[in-house]
Amino acid sequence: MSNLSPQEIEIRSMEIIDGLLPAHTWSSAELAVVKRLVHTSGDPSLAEVVRFHPQAAEAGMAALARGVAIFTDVHMVRIGMTTYKGEITCAISDADIAAAAKATGRTRAQTAMRAFGSALDGAIVAIGNAPTALREVLALAAEGIARPALVIGMPVGFVDAAESKDALMASDLVYITIAGTRGGSPLAATTVNALVKVLG
């Protein structure tokens, strides 16, 4: 096995993943996302907690085909999106965001999403770290300021990660998420990469 090429390793990995997935009714695009998430995480059980809005794959791919901007909560998500050629923005390290967050006591990720404001309307938002950022996106939608074309909501951890994702699924936004405490920047980025790859 050690002399396999990278392409052969990937093909073999996907074959193995196919055999580990539970019975499902995913569309072909949804299946591509699930397989990539399992591949990235090394955890076949993750497939059981991936959740799709009924329009998520179609809306996400249509937005990517239009070349919409993608906004992320942390730079790890931005850096991990290796297949998308459009604009990808993360403001968490901006000095004015840091200053505003310090002044208000809000997180920098949350402050950045609020600063993006109406720019998120029709865009893709990919959140792989901060539940506060996801909560802010939900607030912007509720206030009528911005409705992203797709929210990839995958914050990770034990403080409001699961709950914020439950709130996303209960909203009327189009989403792809992972129920529970699991998530993370690599998985959020992988979701975008998978949809881009399906588009070809």
96: left (phi > 0), else alpha (psi -120 to 50), else beta? alpha
Q: What's CA 125's distance to the chain center, in Å? A: 7
Crossing angle of helices 28-41 and 185-199, rounded to 10°: 140
- Alpha-carbon distance of 48 to 46, in angstroms, equals 5
From 24, 39, 53, 75, active-site residue? 39
39 is catalytic: yes
- Alpha-carbon distance of 132 to 32, in angstroms, equals 28
The residues that are catalytic are 39
